[in-house]
C-alpha cells in the first residue's frame, strides 16, 4: 500500500501521507486557506458541492474546493468543472 496519496485543492494536486485529514491538505497547499476556514471566513466542499469538515477523511484522488462563507453549497463557481 502506498504511504502517500494525491488530493486536489481547487484543482491543484497536493501530495500528503495517507491518513491525513482535510486540514492537513489545506495547510500543505496554502496555510492562509486553512486559517480562513478555521476562522469561519471560508468553508470546504467536495466535488459534489457538499460541505466537508476540517477533520474529514481523505482518499487518493479526492477533489476539494474552498468557498467564501455565505456562498451556498452546491453552487458552481470558478475552478469547479462542469458535470457532464
C-alpha cell belonging to residue 33: 486557506
Q: What is the pLDDT of residue 2?
A: 77
Pairing status of strand 4-9 against strand 63-68 = parallel
Which CATH number among 3.40.50.300, 2.60.40.2140, 3.10.20.90, 3.40.190.80 corresponds to the domain 4-68? 3.10.20.90
Inter-CA distances, 26 with 1, 31, 82, 84, Å: 23, 7, 23, 27
Q: Is the pTM of this model over 0.85?
A: no
Q: Which residue has the higher pLDDT, 1 or 9?
A: 9
Amino acid at each position: 500500500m502506498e504511504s502517500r496519496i494525491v488530493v486536489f485543492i481547487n484543482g491543484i494536486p497536493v501530495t500528503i501521507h495517507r491518513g491525513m485529514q482535510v486540514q492537513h491538505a489545506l495547510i500543505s497547499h496554502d496555510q492562509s486557506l486553512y486559517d480562513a476556514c478555521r476562522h469561519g471566513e471560508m468553508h470546504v466542499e467536495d466535488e459534489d458541492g457538499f460541505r466537508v469538515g476540517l477533520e474529514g477523511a481523505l482518499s487518493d484522488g479526492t477533489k476539494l474546493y474552498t468557498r467564501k462563507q455565505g456562498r451556498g453549497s452546491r453552487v458552481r463557481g470558478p475552478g469547479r468543472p462542469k458535470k457532464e
